[in-house]
Amino acid sequence: MIKLEKINISFDRDVIIDSNIEINDNEITLLTGDSGCGKSTLLYLLGLISSQTNYRYYMDNTLVDIEDNKVISEIKKEKFGFLFQDNSLLDSLSIKDNIIYYAHIAGNEISDNEIDDLLYLVGINSQNKESIFPKQLSGGEQQRLALACVLAKKPEYIFADEPTASLDKTNTNKIIEIFKELKNMGITIVVASHSDSFNDISDKVYEIRDKKIVNIKNVDSGIKVNLDKEKNKYNFSFKDLWSYAETSRRRNKILKGIVTLFCVLAITGFVCVSNVLDYLREINIEFTNQIADHELVVFNPTNYSENILLEPNDIIIKHDEYNKIREINKVEAVYPLYHFMHYLHVAGDERNDLIVETRGATISTNSDLYNLTILPYNKYQKVDKNLYKDFKNNSGIYISYELAQNLGINSECTIVFELPVPVISFESDMVLTDASGKPKGEPILIDLDLCELYKFELKVAGIVDYNFYNRYDANGGSVIYMPNETMDEILNEVQHQYKNKNYQELYPEYTFKEWSPKAYLVYVDSIENMKEVKSKLEKINDNFVVRNDYEDSEQLINLVTNVQSISNKVLLIVLSIIFILMGVIFVIDTLNRKREFTLLKANGLNNNELIKIIGCESLIQGTKIFCWSLLFSILISYLFSMLMMNETRLISWNIFWLVLISAFVFVALPSLICAYIITRFQPDKILRN
């Protein structure tokens, strides 16, 4: 028995006020009244498919919590069946599949023979039931098939809303006869109708009159049938949701095919273009890395100039600062930068005029070599790859083109000369200045190098090309390039030789300290990381100035990056437009299916189960889009790689992830929007229209 109390129904006006109704078991109850009086709405309240909750609902004298969706869903699945004016069929399922699906919703297992029995009961031929769909039946057959689906649930109650409104007299009589037979089987039937056809078979009639529910007929037939509630239990599960989603793909095949095709083309185009742009950028970076200078020069200067160079009065870089430089991520190597040059401070001022002797070569008149400098070189500078003349010996000593011209050297020879080598440092006062030459703060202590003369005897291995210039100090082009290791050995040798010399006695006015480099060469692993490393170097000491000569290379990379960025933006715009179109198509399709989802909701499927159906449909379509897009993306990338001389880097895991993410965005996100729309469907409002 079902009983409702304190029923209040209103639209733009009140239609039912503070009324009650009682539905007895094993009876046919008719709800009647004028059009618009609230018959259907009252039926939806009884069938728990209304969004209203401001009334009391009793089932078998037990108060039902009508705000508990789980409880309501179970009641509608297992106990209720619904027959609506425009039938209750799922158009994407065949006759047989409709019956099976309704049975499974209620948790019933149903055999093929039972399906045939139900079809016989409602007067429908069971032949070809697997291949015939609802749209192929007449209106009367559709309504009778809908009744068979309701019966497949083995409900205790059937709620019928104007079940014969669109039927002719013959089909109306068939429905009435079936209702009488169902009553005899023990099923309780509630009909909302303005037709007089149901008056004769109804045990109880309620008329909605003057905003009240009035009982105008109450006949006790005295015949009560115990409804057989035994059911072949079936566990309605995710498998059924998946099966329904898979079957529903039959709907709008052309539309879904077009959607899939657009998605596949868009994703394939996006992935392939992005992949090629990434490849070209990578090739450009590799090429730039090969020809570009990865070198950063770190100075600790006392004066600022646009062209920072080694100066004798620079400030030493402390050992802890050097360690911080080495610890920077993406730094590949660090080398000290210092030079041996003629005008450094020599202890005791024992320096003589610079005389360079050459052996084994005919030379012209000596020129002014006051600015002769020895600079270290390392493997990154590729001095030996930039030679004007190579004398084919392994000394590793190279002279600049200008020095060779000054000395008249054009063949292998040995040069002998003396130059100061730093031994120790001493402190002196100096005022720092800014770029304009103005004082920058208070005077500071700087470190000057004190040197000892060292006699060099160097075998020349070659002459450096005239385009290879000295960019580290201001001493011009009279340069001898010596391997870093060789210079370190000479430096250590001289410093060890004079380590016991008491310089404090010679110069009591100065404070002496251990000698340290005033600049370092820092090599970065890739041209892309130059800017990042430079920024980190400048943060070690506010006075550090970091010079680099990679701007042209950086501009080239930036150009390629900008082209790639613009191309990606254009692609993203195109993808966004297609994504919006996809969303519109999905939403329109969902709105077109609102009656379908409402029927499922009315029969007990809750929002979570409906969302799972949408999820299954999206997964099926998304998988197709992903597989086809991945296949075409790999194929096109492979063909392009063949054109690029078997460049296998074009085929990578990036393709997989790009396709996967794109497919997710194209299918999953619109599906989430559709899932939200489905949760907002209200069966009483949709089915009433």
pLDDT digits (tens, 9 = 90+) for 95-131: 998 899 888 888 888 899 999 999 998 888 888 888 8
Question: Contact, 300 vs 541, CB < 8 A?
Answer: yes
Q: Does a structural domain hold residue 64?
A: yes
Please check whether residues 563 and 508 belong to one and the same domain.
no
Query: Among the three residues 496, 516, 536, which one is the final residue of a domain in this structure?
Result: 516
On whether both 77 and 219 belong to a single domain, the answer is yes
Same domain membership, residue 649 and residue 596:
yes
Residue 100 within any structural domain of the chain: yes
All residues at 6 or more sequence positions from 642 whose CB lies less than 8 Å from its CB, including other chains:
none
Residue 584 within any structural domain of the chain:
yes
The set of long-range contacts for 573-581, using a CB threshold of 8 Å and a minimum separation of 24, is 574/266, 574/269, 574/270, 575/266, 575/270, 575/662, 575/665, 578/262, 578/263, 578/266, 578/666, 579/665, 579/666, 579/669, 579/670, 581/262
pLDDT in tens, 30-89: 999 888 888 888 999 999 998 888 899 999 999 999 999 889 999 999 899 999 887 678
Domain presence at residue 120: yes
> Does the residue 109 lie in any domain?
yes
Same domain, 607 and 505: no
Same domain, 155 and 26: yes
484 and 581 share one domain:
no
Whole-number Å distance between alpha carbons of 182 and 306 = 100
Q: What is the pLDDT of residue 79?
A: 92
**Which of these three, 462, 496, 516, is where a domain ends?**
516
Asked whether residue 361 carries a pLDDT value surpassing 60, the answer given is no
Three-class secondary structure of residue 357 per DSSP: strand
> Is residue 651 a contact partner of residue 638, using CB atoms and an 8 Å limit?
yes
Do 396 and 476 belong to one domain? yes
165 plus 44 within the same structural domain: yes
**For residue range 416-447, what is the model confidence (pLDDT) as tens digits?**
888 889 999 888 877 766 667 677 777 777 78
Query: Does residue 566 sit within a domain?
Result: yes
Its domain, for residue 190, covers: 2-234
Residues 86 and 223 in one domain: yes
- Tally the domains of the chain: 3
Q: Which of 516, 537, 572 is the last residue of a domain?
A: 516
Position 377 in a domain: yes
Residue 354 has pLDDT above 60, yes or no: no
b/e map 27-56, b = 16+ CB within 10 Å: bbbbbbbeeebbbbbbbbbbbbbbeeeebe
- Asked if residue 573 and residue 481 are part of one domain, the reply reads no
pLDDT digits (tens, 9 = 90+) for 637-680: 888 777 765 555 556 777 888 888 888 888 888 888 988 998 88
The string of DSSP codes covering 217-240 is: EE--------------B----HHH
Measured CA to CA, the distance from residue 72 to residue 46 in angstroms comes to: 12
CA distance 401 to 478: 8
Query: Which residues, at least 6 apart from 39, have a Cβ–Cβ distance to it below 8 Å?
Result: 31, 32, 33, 192, 193, 194, 208
What CATH number is given to the structural domain containing 88? 3.40.50.300
Mean pLDDT to the nearest integer, 7-12: 86
Residue whose C-alpha is closest to residue 164's, from 143, 182, 178: 143
Comparing 487 with 549, the larger pLDDT belongs to 487
| Distance separating alpha carbons of residues 344 and 356, to the nearest angstrom | 17
Extract the runs of DSSP E, i.e. beta strands, from 534-634.
545-548
Residue 272's nearest CA partner among 577, 662, 632 is 632
- Specify the pLDDT at position 304: 56
Higher per-residue pLDDT: 140 or 435: 140
Query: What is the model's pTM?
Result: 0.61
Domain identity same for 485 and 617: no
Q: Is 179 within a domain?
A: yes
Let me know whether 125 and 165 are in one domain. yes
CA 197-200-206 angle, 5° bins = 85
